[in-house]
A and B are shown apart, each in its own frame.
Chain A
Amino acid sequence: MKILVCISKTPDTTAKIAFADNNTKFAADGVQWIINPYDEWYALVRAIELKEKDPSTILHLVNVGMADNEPIIRKALALGGDEAIRVNTDNSDSFFIASQIAAVARQGNYDLIFTGKETIDYNGSAIGGMVAELLDLPYISHAIKFDLEGTDAIVTREIEGGEETDKAALPLVVSCQKGMAEQRIPNMKGIMGARSKPLNVIEPVAADALTSVASYELPPAKAGVKLVSPDTPEELVGLLHEEAKAF
């Protein structure tokens, strides 16, 4: 069993969102970077659990990004995983990134590829589906539960208005979200061990970039809250009905 987990880097959930260079770049000064929560808490931890169940499992991590991503890759290795691959590029187009991951996946012949459901900065929800298409594999998105039954995967995923449990033969691409696993904190042994795990850097394969960011903008500021006295909540109902026309 060989598993590949896709790891991306995002600003901390509390980071101040601001833009530089005439609103064309994210202002990264002073920003704390983390592993994208869906990748860390759900995709990676579930993969580690599968390896704990079957220690013969080989678990690789892949990140597409520049050398400054290495601290978060090491942190992911401290949680678990045997080795990591970093594809050295700063191209941020989803199709370009997916093409790189697909190339790594072809090389490694993985049975299972996990991604997060989305990155919390770009909110693309795109890489998993693209990788699956490039590899001509089935794709189960928004998984909340994952188990193996021989060479079949039993996956519960979120659908519009409910849940669905699916069965599919490996190999398979799965995007992971809440429910898959519980967040873990790396321990000292993991952190020390991660230092000597291989982190292989490879150059990108040729691929097209189909999109680019022209500019960023911040939403207009809210006008400010209109407060109603707790003694007369019916006034709030009146305002919502007549002023905001909310119902």
Chain B
Amino acid sequence: MSVLVFLDQADGHIKKSSLEAANYAAKAAEQLGTTAEAIVLGTVNDELGTVGNYGIKKVLTVADAALNNLDAQVYTNIIAAASENAELIVFSNNTTGKAIAPRLSAKLKAGLVSGAVALPQTGNGFIVKKSVFSGKAFANILVSSAKKIVSLNPNSFTVETGSGTAEVVAFDAKPDTAKISVVSVNKITGEVPLSEADIVVSAGRGMKGPENWGMIEELAHLLGAATACSRPVADIGWRPHHEHVGQTGLAIAPNLYIAIGISGAIQHLAGVNRSKVIVVINKDPEAPFFKAADYGIVGDAFEVVPKIIDAIKKLKAVA
């Protein structure tokens, strides 16, 4: 019996969220007294042996360009074949993981815990803590099937790397003909994808209009951050829809979330409350966001943000 982790790639590179899942799989394997293997579908440019640094002993590859686009059904059948000996299969709970893990769960009758935030407790049954109520609470889920699937929430697990080289072996699998064909792909290039960002600079209706986003973008650029926004801002068309975070938008968990001119409505918080550090800049001391914040400034964003930009520039000049 072993642990298998699915490594998701974008443009030939293994994603950060998948490397977290790899390390999770390795630690879970240690707990279960076994070793962790990984599977990569499609063609990649990365030197895959290096996932050994995350504790993976062996990487199975199916380097078939037909797999470079995700068809959950095709992927599921290959991963199912590769997980014959796996008691636990690990995914990152990103859009790719969410497309595949449930299918695999139904196929293998393997209980699924999606949105896991901690390693399994294996003392008394197999129990995994997951995020529920859009980050407002946790549930400890008991998985009763023999095979288990865990999909790990991005940025909710502390990665500890070591050194090691994974053995890379080709996995013999013939992809089924995809029933879904890709008409077009539109990747937002040149920016940090929101779901993977360490730092997110987000702004709301307090910015008054789309013409004022220059300083938000400048701040984000300085910090290597992604930009996000509140729902009304996306709805009025000040910012693109994919930046909308919250209950009905994207749920994110960066290390640092800076909220500028956002009131902090409960539905907004639902998408960002798993962030490690929350900074709020709002001119209203009663804004509910301050209750969820670690640091805050009660002040006018139009005065405060340029000063913050200057201070960061100074800091960077010294460093």
Write the residues of chain A forming the contact surface with B, with a CB cutoff of 8 angstroms. 11, 13-14, 17, 19, 37-38, 41, 93-95, 98, 120-134, 138-142, 144, 154, 158-169, 177-179, 208-219, 222-223, 225-230, 233-234, 236-241, 244, 246-247
Shortest distance in angstroms between A123's beta carbon and chain B's nearest beta carbon? 5
Check: B221 CB closer than 8 A to any chain A CB.
Answer: no
- Shortest Cβ distance from B141 into A: residue: A211
Cross-chain contact B196 with A227 (CB below 8 angstroms): no
- Shortest Cβ distance from A244 into B: residue: B277
Cross-chain contact B270 with A122 (CB below 8 angstroms): no
Cross-chain contact B188 with A165 (CB below 8 angstroms): no
A95 to B141 alpha-carbon distance, docked (Å): 14
Cross-chain contact A240 with B105 (CB below 8 angstroms): no
A124 to B10 alpha-carbon distance, docked (Å): 24
Cross-chain contact B196 with A161 (CB below 8 angstroms): yes
Q: Given A13-B247, A211-B143, A160–B182 Cβ distance below 8 Å?
A: no
- Shortest Cβ distance from B93 into A: residue: A125
A213 to B145 alpha-carbon distance, docked (Å): 14
Check: B76 CB closer than 8 A to any chain A CB.
Answer: yes
Cross-chain contact A163 with B186 (CB below 8 angstroms): yes
Decide if the interface of chain B is mainly helix, strand, loop or mixed: mixed
B133-168, CB under 8 A of A: which get 1 and which 0? 111111111111100000000000000000000000
- CB interface residues, B 86-119, toward A, < 8 Å: 93-96, 98-107, 109-115
Check: B72 CB closer than 8 A to any chain A CB.
Answer: yes
Query: Can you spell out 5 A-B residue pairs with CB atoms less than 8 angstroms apart?
Result: A125-B93, A160-B95, A210-B112, A214-B125, A226-B296
Tell me which of B73, B93, B95, B280 contacts A225 (CB under 8 A). B280
A25 to B187 alpha-carbon distance, docked (Å): 42
Tell me which of A38, A234, A240 contacts B307 (CB under 8 A). A234
Cross-chain contact A162 with B186 (CB below 8 angstroms): yes
Q: Given A133-B102, A160-B15, A166-B182, A225–B114 Cβ distance below 8 Å?
A: no
Cross-chain contact A17 with B137 (CB below 8 angstroms): yes
Cross-chain contact B144 with A128 (CB below 8 angstroms): no
Most chain A beta-carbon contacts within 10 A, residue among B96, B106, B247:
B106
Decide if the interface of chain A is mainly helix, strand, loop or mixed: mixed
Cross-chain contact A211 with B186 (CB below 8 angstroms): no
Q: Given A164-B184, A225-B290, A214–B98 Cβ distance below 8 Å?
A: no
Q: Given A138-B71, A216-B140, A95–B256 Cβ distance below 8 Å?
A: no
A223 to B279 alpha-carbon distance, docked (Å): 13
Q: Given A211-B112, A233-B311, A120–B303 Cβ distance below 8 Å?
A: no
Shortest distance in angstroms between B100's beta carbon and chain A's nearest beta carbon? 7
A134 to B103 alpha-carbon distance, docked (Å): 8
Query: Could you list 10 further interchain pairs (A-B, Cβ under 8 angstroms) beyond the known A165-B185, A214-B140, A236-B308?
Result: A13-B247, A124-B102, A129-B98, A140-B180, A160-B96, A218-B138, A222-B293, A236-B279, A239-B295, A247-B199
Cross-chain contact A230 with B298 (CB below 8 angstroms): yes
B253-286, CB under 8 A of A: which get 1 and which 0? 0011000000000110010010011011000000
Cross-chain contact B144 with A227 (CB below 8 angstroms): no
Cross-chain contact B140 with A215 (CB below 8 angstroms): yes
Cross-chain contact B115 with A123 (CB below 8 angstroms): yes
A179 to B240 alpha-carbon distance, docked (Å): 11
Cross-chain contact B10 with A219 (CB below 8 angstroms): no
